[in-house]
Amino acid sequence: MTPGRYVWHNGKMVPWEQATVHVAAHALHYGSSVFEGIRAYDTPQGPAVFCLGAHVRRLFDSCRVFRMEVPYSPDQISQAILETVGYNEHRACYIRPLVYRGAGAFGLDPRKAPTEVAILTLEWGAYLGPEALEQGVDVVVSTWRRMAPATHPAMAKIAGNYINSQLMTMEARDGGFAEAIALDVEGHVSEGSGENVFVVRDDVVYTPSLAHSILPGVTRQVAITLLRELGYEVREVSLPREMLYLADEIFLTGTAAEITPVRSVDRIPVGAGRRGPVTEKVQKAFYDVVSGRVPDRHGWLTPVRSARRSEPAPSPGD
C-alpha cells in the first residue's frame, strides 16, 4: 500500500509514522475496535468521497452495538475524513476510520479503556486485481461458517469479527482461489470474506438477506438501487449452496472489491465462465457515477473541497 502522509488521530493531524498506539491497547489484545472502509474517487470536479453519510452512520451504528461512546459527532467525523483526504492530496484513495479501545485496562469489560479515533488514507487499486473486474475471479465455498445468531453481531463492523474472514481468506489462497464464500450456520449462502454476494438466474438477481449473518454493505445497497433502476428484479432471500452452481452470473460487492464478477465456484464455471451482461451493466452504472461521468442523482459523492480545515498540517519533521 502507499499510505497518506498524515493521519487524523484523536482530533489532530499527525505524520503517518507518528500515529502510534501503546502495546497495551485493549484493541490489540481483544479486537475491541470498530472500523469502516470508504473510497474517494477522482472526478472532473476533484476527489469525492463515495457514500460518506452511509459509512459514517454504519460506523456509529456498529459502535452503538458494541457499547462504544464515540467522542466526536457524526458531522465531526465526516469533516475529519474529508480533511484527511485533502491534507494527503489524494486524487483517489481508500479511507479507514477506526474507533478503538486504547491502553488503560486489561479486563474483558472494554468500557474501562479509553476510546480513541483515527482516520487513515492510502492509495489502493482494485482489491482482487484490475483484471478481475472484467475476467472475474475463482472462489471456493469455505469450510469456515459465518457466526451464528447471538454469538457475534454480524451487522456491526467490529474488528474481532474479521478473524473469521482471515481464516476464510487464508484457506482460499492456500487452495489457489482468489476469494471465499461462507455459508451461515444453517448452510445458506452468507457472504465473502469482505464482500456481499449477488446471484443472477434468468435475469432475476438474488442476494442473501440480513438474517443470514451478513454485514449490511453500503456498496450492496448501491448495487441494489442501480439494478432496480436498470429494470432488474432484486430479491433479498435465503439462498441454498447449490444456487452458486446453477447461477447464470455471480458478482461480489464491497468498498474494496467494488463490483467484481465471479467466474467459478469450487472450480465449477459460473455461466459462460466470464463476466455476464447483468454484472457488466451494473458495473458500468456504478463506475459512471463514481467517476463523475453521469449526474450524481442520489447524492452519493461528497466533494473533498467541502472540508473545513481546522489547523495547518504539521510537517513530517515536527
Return the pLDDT at 307: 62
Rounded mean pLDDT of 51-65?
98
Rounded mean pLDDT of 67-86?
97
Q: What is the DSSP string of 151-196?
A: TS-TTS-BGGGHHHHHHHHHHHHHTT-SEEEEE-TTSBEEEESS-E
**Out of 112, 157, 281, 284, which one is annotated catalytic?**
157
Return the pLDDT at 305: 86
Domains and CATH numbers, the chain: 2-125+298-306 (3.30.470.10), 132-275 (3.20.10.10)
Rounded mean pLDDT of 231-247?
98
Q: How far is CA 304 from each of CA 38, 43, 225, 262, rounded to the nearest angstrom?
A: 13, 11, 24, 33
Residue 281 annotated in active site = no
Contact in structure between 151 and 161 (CB atoms under 8 Å):
no
Rounded mean pLDDT of 186-192?
98
Return the pLDDT at 233: 98
Rounded mean pLDDT of 291-307?
92
Q: For residue 269, is pLDDT > 80?
A: yes
Q: For residue 200, is pLDDT > 60?
A: yes
Nearest Cα to 123, choosing from 6, 39, 43, 217?
39
Residue 134's pLDDT band (cuts 50, 70, 90)? confident
Residue 309's pLDDT band (cuts 50, 70, 90)? low
Prediction pTM value: 0.94
